[in-house]
Structure 1
């Protein structure tokens, strides 16, 4: 088995991930999170909230997962959110057409459906499942359609991203933040994409969890007030130029912004903040890089975008976070479709005298001629230039219809006026996190099958009583499976283990559990099997610390605390044990300082 298979085998056996609908044969692109998986996922989400809601001050909102059609017309998803699909004419299996030709052309991601069909035919590419021939490739929209209301109802879609709700709520958010830029909002929730052929576990799902932040900034000032926090942080960058050379490089955020590798401070700060979050939750820094999108792969809404990518055993480099500068695309698009202006009024420090071109439609003349369309005609006139307005007959387009307006129905002139501010359409910086992909990355990067003897020697346990206790696990096995989760995200943070299943040991163990839970620690009680086997079970689920209650506990009021990673053990008093473990987990307290090491 490769590492991917090993991780999934452990995940299914220990209750992290299960195939959805398994009782009925399952369905690709869906997974259930078991008891430990749900706990791990929730901890990832909670730490994300600590970063963005508590530290950054961006409040969380919650929007429906079903959206009306107009929202996705404005966002571009109705017209442009598709992948090229190709179906086998024999077994009827569906495949991404661009994935089928990846090995024979470097331009797979840029080819049209028609061009992909030509490549498949010319290269004789056949179905990987049965060897059958493929039909014509065509564009397949990835959104799930639904109907809102009975009968024919209103066309709706399951949202393909959480972002649009925050754009639609922009006016309300702006008022909430008292129209002061910058401000932001976050949302964590389900999104849905009807993937053509999801065959990569939780890397590609049809229902998945996103954590997105939309930061609305003044386009005239993209400096970040807290830039110095990360300015000297070194990141592994894989820029557009670096990709041409085929090499990534290390650079501080300050130097990257100064040299233009990263466009501006707000983008640089948020790339560094992403790095801080990912390493905190357990992504291996040695397997993390930030790759800039190439010009021909940039999303339709982005002027610049960087992906946080992690290295995986089976799939190579995988995107888990996108940090995009969406400019003013989204607000302009929703303003156009909703016919509602979306902007923030920004006051100047001092009023200015400004000469500007003003257009004044005469509603008294437009109303009788255009009736219900008069306002739309007036708005269209305000967008015309002086040259266009100087003609005897003025042409405007309203709802796709070209209309003629008499020149006496509109006045225009240049005038100098005192202004106190201006209307600004904010630009949007968007860090978008794929929680399920981060979950898998943490699982794979935490997974290890260690040689027990070698680990014992490294930790100075060879020939000690501690080594003897370790050898009780599963006989005298040579390796142990261990998940090296960061203490803050581990699904079980402390396991309390009475040495024997006897009441005199169980009572103090349960008292310890009660005190640990008062500290909001995730605790497990385990009294089944030998102490060595219980250590191994907790190693497999990534429990950072085990507390063993034995007969010495009854005599001197101390317990054994065992560290998962080093397998070392110390004796510590029961009194204050909850504070000791809390500090080990959340305050980076050194393990050796938590009590007295065993003396042998």
Structure 2
């Protein structure tokens, strides 16, 4: 077998972007009209790649976890997001160029400028600096300039600590950093103003009159919560269970300049796992307890460090680093999914949110961050949302979003209860009687005991909203009563894994891209067969009519086996046809030549090694099918089929 050297050439983002553009994985939307920042259209290979990632996500989570799938609306009435807190708090901090009015996201500005200064320091100290590429020079938007200026060691440390803690800074603190470090707009070298909050939701209106304001959803989660009662009923009233949804979301990003990593319309896959707040253990935690993860917890970040720790998820839960088993279970399952679709485990970490960074609804949150050419990018969030959403929607609508659970053994309790003589109380206190009864009914056991003792002495005075009421035994009595509880009613907590499919797709493309050792111009996307847009390329060596029945037969058999194939019968050389499909990530290719017509044999090529095998057509199709399904690997295929030496005899 051929030895493959995928690191012979350093990663070149400009070459990858040229390939993705040339092969139409994705492109700026409305391009012939000049395009709109943050909006992209996927071409055939990009659409197929995303669909295959989603199909595997559905198997890995919905099917294997028995989740309930939803498809809810994108347009949402304003009261929903007012209640959830999104109208008030779903915002980023932005700054404006004081002269041009250009808008930049504050935390990204600080990050880019400080990282550029640190890069300049490394260059000044003799570290190798990458020369700017021609494609970068031609870009209309500039990045922070990296000048070779040596910094004091203390300044370097200060910058590194600031970057480690960046996600924990508030808007005013980001403004202070801009002043402290003289951070300016790198495009113009102008100063920037004070950070201001900018709500990321797109506003809309529902109906022709404009009287019903709404928003395009920034996440799919609220559609889950509002249907909780129906989901619970569908699940026969039992908790825990999970709902799942794949759909479009919309965020009006301040300055989207990072391709698919920061867009305004995107596909999300979200899970809402409902769990008893008193029992956050997971029945299948034992399956993942030995999964070892790279973790960056909040304590390390708060100390100004980004040093990671390797540990099993069971150890992280036992030490309280991860809050509970259910959260830990999903973190491990996220890790296994990302590895399965081709993410490099050496470039994957889980970072815990710091206190100030935490979403308004979360009690603990971990991001699956994937390293790429722009740094570490959050691609999956996994949050413990507690009971926040169900509680606020229930309070706003009056609809109880609760679980009513029959107890195996009734709970018997005794407590003091105040009983009013409603007729006498009404005559005595008039319109204030309702407020008085409500106030007394909410008193603690200890407070009721105090009133009971005073009543035994003749009377007791209570104060409600500053107004005194004299209670006597003919108005109220306080007696000890026994209560039997056979139903427990509670609001479940929610564990939410949330996936940004576009970000996962792009980082997978970066992790999969490399150039042949012998030829820098021959780029390859080593996408796993599981998610590759096309699984096998069919290459006929001749356009003669006698090949047509065989091409149709092979194509049909691949279709029946559920293997997506394409025929490349263009008049270019076989080498160019294979090179073109290496760029598309096609893992396998079969070649039909005159010997195939005569002997019913065909060759099988593997993309990364370019090794070729040969065998009877049906045997090759069966082998490819198993390779695509993942039941065998290439080494096993090499044991089943002989190597091809480049010559086929024609009998």
Q: TM-score, normalised by structure 2?
A: 0.80
Question: In structure 1, how many angstroms separate the alpha carbons of the residues matched to 2:188 and 2:476?
Answer: 69
Question: In structure 2, how many angstroms separate the alpha carbons of the residues matched to 1:34 and 1:348?
Answer: 55
Q: 1:339, CA displacement in angstroms? A: 2.4
Q: Specify the alignment match of 1:4 in structure 2.
A: 13
Q: Specify the alignment match of 1:352 in structure 2.
A: 411
SS at match of 2:263: coil
SS at match of 2:618: coil
Q: Specify the alignment match of 1:85 in structure 2.
A: 94
Q: 1:195, CA displacement in angstroms? A: 0.7
Q: 1:437, CA displacement in angstroms? A: 0.4
SS at match of 2:286: helix
Question: In structure 2, how many angstroms separate the alpha carbons of the residues matched to 1:410 and 1:281?
Answer: 69
Q: Specify the alignment match of 2:624 in structure 1.
A: 581
Cα 1:545–1:119 shift into 2, 3 Å: closer
SS at match of 1:172: helix
Cα 1:18–1:479 shift into 2, 3 Å: closer
**2:396 pairs with one of 337, 348, 362:** 337
Instruction: Indicate the structure whose relative CO is greater, using CA pairs within 8 Å and at least 6 residues apart.
Output: 2
Q: Specify the alignment match of 1:509 in structure 2.
A: 551
Q: Specify the alignment match of 1:498 in structure 2.
A: 540
Cα 1:599–1:123 shift into 2, 3 Å: closer
Please say which of residues 524-533 and 148-157 is displaced more in the overlay. 148-157
Cα 1:228–1:444 shift into 2, 3 Å: same
Question: In structure 2, how many angstroms separate the alpha carbons of the residues matched to 1:412 and 1:150?
Answer: 59
1:366-423 C-alpha deviation (Å, 9 max, x unpaired): 9x9889xx8x999898656467886866758xxxxx9999989998765322222310
SS at match of 2:213: strand
Q: 1:59, CA displacement in angstroms? A: 1.4
SS at match of 1:27: coil
Q: Specify the alignment match of 2:207 in structure 1.
A: 149
**1:316 pairs with one of 372, 375, 383:** 375
Q: 1:261, CA displacement in angstroms? A: 2.3
Q: 1:123, CA displacement in angstroms? A: 4.6
Cα 1:200–1:407 shift into 2, 3 Å: farther
Q: Specify the alignment match of 1:204 in structure 2.
A: 262
| Cα RMSD (Å) | 3.0
**2:242 pairs with one of 161, 166, 184:** 184
Q: Specify the alignment match of 1:221 in structure 2.
A: 279
List aligned pairs for 1:84-483, cutoff 5 A.
84-102=93-111, 103=114, 105=162, 109-121=167-179, 123-243=181-301, 244=303, 246-313=306-373, 315-355=374-414, 385=444, 395=464, 415-452=481-518, 477=519, 480-483=522-525
Q: Does residue 1:598 correspond to 2:598, yes or no? A: no
Q: 1:234, CA displacement in angstroms? A: 1.5
Asked if the contact 1:360–1:412 (Cα under 8 Å) also holds between the matched residues in 2, the reply is yes
Q: Specify the alignment match of 1:24 in structure 2.
A: 33
Q: Does residue 1:571 correspond to 2:614, yes or no? A: yes
Q: 1:263, CA displacement in angstroms? A: 2.1
Q: 1:140, CA displacement in angstroms? A: 1.0
Please say which of residues 2-11 and 221-230 is displaced more in the overlay. 2-11
Cα 1:523–1:355 shift into 2, 3 Å: farther
Asked if the contact 2:421–2:476 (Cα under 8 Å) also holds between the matched residues in 1, the reply is yes
Asked if the contact 1:343–1:426 (Cα under 8 Å) also holds between the matched residues in 2, the reply is yes
Cα 1:425–1:85 shift into 2, 3 Å: same
Question: In structure 2, how many angstroms separate the alpha carbons of the residues matched to 1:21 and 1:585?
Answer: 36
Question: In structure 2, how many angstroms separate the alpha carbons of the residues matched to 1:211 and 1:381?
Answer: 48
Asked if the contact 2:415–2:445 (Cα under 8 Å) also holds between the matched residues in 1, the reply is no
Asked if the contact 2:523–2:583 (Cα under 8 Å) also holds between the matched residues in 1, the reply is yes
Cα 1:383–1:557 shift into 2, 3 Å: farther
Asked if the contact 2:461–2:468 (Cα under 8 Å) also holds between the matched residues in 1, the reply is no
Q: TM-score, normalised by structure 1?
A: 0.87
Asked if the contact 1:237–1:290 (Cα under 8 Å) also holds between the matched residues in 2, the reply is yes
SS at match of 1:262: coil
Q: Does residue 1:75 correspond to 2:84, yes or no? A: yes
Q: 1:480, CA displacement in angstroms? A: 2.3
Asked if the contact 2:92–2:200 (Cα under 8 Å) also holds between the matched residues in 1, the reply is yes
Q: Specify the alignment match of 1:468 in structure 2.
A: none
Q: 1:426, CA displacement in angstroms? A: 0.8
Q: Specify the alignment match of 1:547 in structure 2.
A: 590
Asked if the contact 1:188–1:210 (Cα under 8 Å) also holds between the matched residues in 2, the reply is yes
Question: In structure 1, how many angstroms separate the alpha carbons of the residues matched to 2:39 and 2:422?
Answer: 57
Question: In structure 2, how many angstroms separate the alpha carbons of the residues matched to 1:341 and 1:378?
Answer: 24
Asked if the contact 1:3–1:444 (Cα under 8 Å) also holds between the matched residues in 2, the reply is no
Q: 1:594, CA displacement in angstroms? A: 4.4
- Structure 1 spans left out of the alignment, 5+ residues: 397-401, 453-476
Please say which of residues 498-507 and 277-286 is displaced more in the overlay. 498-507
Please say which of residues 190-199 and 87-96 is displaced more in the overlay. 87-96
Which has the larger Rg? Answer: 2
Asked if the contact 2:169–2:356 (Cα under 8 Å) also holds between the matched residues in 1, the reply is no
1:250-289 C-alpha deviation (Å, 9 max, x unpaired): 2122222222222222111111100111011111111111
Question: In structure 2, how many angstroms separate the alpha carbons of the residues matched to 1:378 and 1:7?
Answer: 72
Cα 1:534–1:379 shift into 2, 3 Å: farther
1:311-341 C-alpha deviation (Å, 9 max, x unpaired): 112x111111111111111111212222222
Q: 1:110, CA displacement in angstroms? A: 4.6
SS at match of 1:597: coil
Q: Specify the alignment match of 1:532 in structure 2.
A: 575
Cα 1:381–1:574 shift into 2, 3 Å: farther
SS at match of 1:575: helix
Question: In structure 1, how many angstroms separate the alpha carbons of the residues matched to 2:415 and 2:535?
Answer: 64
